[in-house]
Amino acid sequence: MTIAKVIVDVPARQTNRAFDYIVPADCVGWVDVGSRVAVPFGPRLLQGFVVALEEEAGVKASKLKPLDQVLDAEPPLTRELVALAGWMSRRYLCHEVTALQAMIPAALKAKYERLLTLGAAAEEPAAAWTGGASREPAEEAAFGQAELFAAEELFGDDDIVAFVRERGSVTLEAVQHRFPGCGAAIRRLIRAGWLAESQTVKDRMAAKKVLTVFPPERPESLDAALELIPARAKRQRDVVRYLREHPAPIRLTELMLALEVGAGTVKELADKGFIALREVTAFRDPYANRTFARTEPLPLTAEQQRVFGAIGATLAAGEHRVFLLKGVTGSGKTEVYLQAIQRCFDKGKEAIVLVPEISLTPQMVERFKSRFGSDVAVLHSKLSNGERYDEWRKIAQGRVKMAIGARSAIFAPFARLGLIIIDEEHEASYKQEDSPKYDARDVAIERARAAGAAVVLGSATPSLESFERTLPNGRDALSGAYELLEMRERVAGRPMPPVRIVDMREELKGGNRAMFSRPLYKALQERLQRGEQSVLLLNRRGYSTFVMCRTCGHTLGCPHCAISLTYHQNAGAMRCHYCGYAERQPKTCPSCESEHIRYFGTGTQRVEEELGKLFPGIRVIRMDVDTTSEKGAHEKWLTLFGDGKADVLLGTQMVAKGLDFPNVTLVGVIAADTVLHLPDFRAAERTFQLMTQVAGRAGRHRLPGEVFVQTYTPEHYSIVTAADHDYGAFAGVELDSRRQLGYPPFSRLILLTLSHENPQLLVKSAESLAGRLKELAASAAVEPGFACDILGPVASPISRIKDRYRFQCVVKYRGTVRMSELVREAVASLDDVCRQEGLQISVDVDPQMMM
């Protein structure tokens, strides 16, 4: 007898235990590892994933229940992905089912339907419901007044029973639709045994079907049809003639449009047996209406050739290796990716390309589509569920050879993966902030390791974690060593744009209080006169959270942590989010006693207004969350800008990424400090990355470019080294500082966030958790090379969300001890409080944001 081990989708705090079910005879050979199934679980029917199949003889099996249903014709997950989910659950301390769910498209996620049927009481002969009138007062209080009102005024409980009786079984949704506000009545009826509730897994997502016209196998046979169809049936003859010349299957709608005939005409031909008309599974192609001019591989530059040689050799050998491709902006990394992918295809393997946020990088998608056409699946975050499902099925069925998409595209169900490329590998968006809180870079490396595939991490500004792993002693216990590949020159000898740092303190001294410095103002004016374009960056993150002196640039930092204090408006206090240190908000600058100390921040809208005042008639495209929420909005704005319909592209980080416009000769950063003073140990790194990326948008083509960076801290090493285009100098200073403070890459972090409505209970729990962590860490300290600090507990930066208070602890550790397991154990010590009091604990392994 075949037994399926199933990870069941139980939302509650359950272990990762797999449950055993018998595979019924008619499902053997159909069910496989990676299948989605519906299984009985207590009184309910739940969705689950098969993670193993075993042959078992005899007694034990007979006690098991059989699984109820196989939900898909093909298992949606490969064996390899199922194994990866197990790894994720151990690495990120998430439920295995959460990891499995993250791997399948939303369209396939469990859809439960609650069904109502008649209960035992209603089946008794001559039963009459009287409960509605004689409810207990205590019970009444439990129901909302609105519900009571609706239940009594608009319909009687017996109406509901009759409705269900008529239909046998009916969805809860349908009942609620028919009797608005009937929630209380239904609960009452269920308690009294008049109705019964059950739950089923809703049917699988239907693939889209389209009617398709099939000409006969031998098109010549249509000649006979022409003889049989009378001359007056002109339209029918048109269709036959057309199909005689174009004997390939064609969609009915397309044929109707091409020949301007009605569906009836075609159906008549089908009825007569001249052609066939059948439903065919269709793929909704979101790029169906786009054409991509085919591009050919470019002859590589010497630098590209060297890099491609290294990657190509690994692909040819079919080895697993991780490359860090560090190439300045405009050095031609994308062309290297394209040719590496071609090499991978030539070996009969498949490829995944990850980009930070795909809707921000339409130009990137275009370059892959142009080279590889319909071999590319695009997993776009703004696709509808149906479109996404279709792209995903193309991958699962081997109809495409590569997928490009954001973070979750790392789960593309390829069976012969040869290459994973992660562009802009330093981007924080590769980390998922919701459970499972995985880092797509690390998942990529684990997946590639298991598949024997190569990984290319590309960036002009690699994350320090990745960079450090290319250094002689930088081998990380968990991710191994990376091989560094460098490209230092822009293609065709184009120069890097000169970067001018503008000291805003000097501007203020000179009497200019505006948000545009005089040099940037002048540069903008010149561009307008010459008809060239400009990109302006304003980072809104960090808006109003840190306090800075406008006279001397002094910011308030924590004396223990080397990060900025965060302003808490309600308390009027400045706090450190790492260690809990606090002080009162100052009235004057502690450094120069100026009164110009204030909360920093300017919105994009204000900059737009200001531009209009300074340069009447200026055409500005503003890109921020407000103007880009619609589907396709990014593409629209970027196309307009590319077509020269605006002088200035103004926006948040999203304008810094991957854009390539020949006419852009000026880039302005309005306030470099906004990122620098975020309460995050990566603030300097993020500033350096952002400055470098945005500067890389200028002068990428024939026209030379120029960059202005406005700042109150012009001497900061992240700004100075970015202006010099000197990654090495930046990394040197930053790595030293991280080493001294013991931050990543010289340690790893695990962030634990606890939340509860009651602050007393929360603090007590947080302290108990921290205490348990310290005990466990102490007991592990005997292992060589292990060191561990437990920071906190302190209030989270966002100290209350939805009426729940939040506290956090940070585990900072070094060494090979399986810290995740210790954390799991510590969290388990609070299981009772979680179950009984509703305490929530979230665990973020390798957090990108310390919130």
591 binds Zn ion (CB under 5 A): yes
* Tokens representing residue 435 in the block: 């459970």
For ligand ADP, give the closer residue by CB, 327 or 679: 327
E strands, 444-527, in order: 454-459, 483-487, 499-503
What DSSP string describes 99-122? HHHHHS-GGGS--EEEEEEE-HHH
The interface partner of residue 558, options being ligand ADP, Zn ion, none and the CB cut-off 5 to 8 Å by kind, is Zn ion
297 binds ligand ADP (CB under 6 A): no
Q: Which of 10, 250, 259, 300 binds ligand ADP (CB under 6 A)?
A: 300
- Enumerate residues 549-568 that contact Zn ion by CB under 5 A: 549, 551-552, 554, 558, 560-561
304 binds ligand ADP (CB under 6 A): yes
Q: Which of 105, 183, 332, 497 binds ligand ADP (CB under 6 A)?
A: 332
The interface partner of residue 300, options being ligand ADP, Zn ion, none and the CB cut-off 5 to 8 Å by kind, is ligand ADP
Closest CA to 251 of 291, 278, 224: 278
Q: How far apart, in whole angstroms, are the C-alpha atoms of residue 177 and residue 189? A: 17
**Taken in order 353, 356, 359, 361, is the CA torsion positive or negative?**
negative
Q: Which of 301, 432, 566, 665 binds ligand ADP (CB under 6 A)?
A: 301
For ligand ADP, give the closer residue by CB, 642 or 714: 642
The interface partner of residue 689, options being Zn ion, ligand ADP, none and the CB cut-off 5 to 8 Å by kind, is none
The interface partner of residue 576, options being Zn ion, ligand ADP, none and the CB cut-off 5 to 8 Å by kind, is Zn ion
Closest CA to 655 of 833, 800, 533: 533
427 binds ligand ADP (CB under 6 A): no
From the CB of 312, what's the least distance to ligand ADP, in Å? 15
Q: At what angle do helices 157-167 and 183-191 cross, to 10 degrees?
A: 70
243 binds Zn ion (CB under 5 A): no
From the CB of 538, what's the least distance to Zn ion, in Å? 23
| Sole window of 217-225, 297-305, 385-393, 530-538 interacting with ligand ADP (rule: CB under 6 A) | 297-305
Q: How far apart, in whole angstroms, are the C-alpha atoms of residue 339 and residue 466? A: 23
From the CB of 576, what's the least distance to Zn ion, in Å? 3
From the CB of 734, what's the least distance to Zn ion, in Å? 19
Q: Which long-range contacts (CB under 8 A, 24 or more apart) does 519-527 make?
A: 519/708, 520/668, 520/708, 520/710, 521/614, 523/666, 523/668, 523/706, 523/708, 524/614, 524/615, 524/648, 524/666, 524/668, 525/615, 527/647, 527/665, 527/666
From the CB of 726, what's the least distance to ligand ADP, in Å? 17
Q: How far apart, in whole angstroms, are the C-alpha atoms of residue 487 and residue 116? A: 65
Q: Strand 499-503 vs strand 706-711: parallel, antiparallel, or unpaired?
A: parallel
From the CB of 600, what's the least distance to Zn ion, in Å? 13
* Tokens representing residue 714 in the block: 């012009």
For ligand ADP, give the closer residue by CB, 286 or 330: 330
Q: Which of 38, 186, 589, 762 binds Zn ion (CB under 5 A)?
A: 589
| Sole window of 15-23, 172-180, 193-201, 293-301 interacting with ligand ADP (rule: CB under 6 A) | 293-301
From the CB of 579, what's the least distance to Zn ion, in Å? 3
For ligand ADP, give the closer residue by CB, 491 or 761: 491
The interface partner of residue 199, options being Zn ion, ligand ADP, none and the CB cut-off 5 to 8 Å by kind, is none
579 binds Zn ion (CB under 5 A): yes
738 binds ligand ADP (CB under 6 A): no
> Residue for token digits 């507990």?
793
Q: What is the DSSP letter of 133?
A: G
Count of residues touching Zn ion (by CB under 5 A): 15
For ligand ADP, give the closer residue by CB, 301 or 711: 301
* Tokens representing residue 13 in the block: 């705090």
Q: Which of 372, 578, 600, 688 binds Zn ion (CB under 5 A)?
A: 578
Q: Which of 592, 778, 781, 801 binds Zn ion (CB under 5 A)?
A: 592
Report yes or no: 781 and 788 within 8 Å, Cβ to Cβ: yes
Provide the 3-class DSSP secondary structure of residue 73.
coil
Q: How far apart, in whole angstroms, are the C-alpha atoms of residue 391 and residue 192? A: 48
526 binds ligand ADP (CB under 6 A): no
From the CB of 432, what's the least distance to ligand ADP, in Å? 25
What DSSP string describes 248-306? S-EEHHHHHHHHT--HHHHHHHHHTTSSEEEEEE----TTTT------PPPPPPHHHHH
| Sole window of 325-333, 569-577, 647-655, 737-745 interacting with ligand ADP (rule: CB under 6 A) | 325-333
- Enumerate residues 655-684 that contact ligand ADP by CB under 6 A: 660
Report yes or no: 321 and 455 within 8 Å, Cβ to Cβ: yes
Closest CA to 459 of 690, 668, 684: 690
What DSSP string describes 611-639? HHHHSTT--EEEESTTTS-STTHHHHHHH
For ligand ADP, give the closer residue by CB, 678 or 722: 722
Q: Ramachandran region of residue 774, left (φ > 0), alpha (ψ -120 to 50) or beta?
A: alpha
Q: How far apart, in whole angstroms, are the C-alpha atoms of residue 670 and residue 492? A: 30
For ligand ADP, give the closer residue by CB, 326 or 527: 326
> Residue for token digits 């301390």?
93
> Residue for token digits 């070996």?
347
729 binds ligand ADP (CB under 6 A): no
594 binds Zn ion (CB under 5 A): yes
339 binds ligand ADP (CB under 6 A): no
Q: How far apart, in whole angstroms, are the C-alpha atoms of residue 776 and residue 769? A: 11
For ligand ADP, give the closer residue by CB, 160 or 487: 487
For ligand ADP, give the closer residue by CB, 355 or 565: 355
The interface partner of residue 592, options being Zn ion, ligand ADP, none and the CB cut-off 5 to 8 Å by kind, is Zn ion
Across the strands, what pairs with 806? 755
Count of residues touching ligand ADP (by CB under 6 A): 15
* Interacting residues toward ligand ADP by CB under 6 A: 298-301, 304, 327, 329-335, 491, 660
* Interacting residues toward Zn ion by CB under 5 A: 549, 551-552, 554, 558, 560-561, 576, 578-579, 581, 589, 591-592, 594
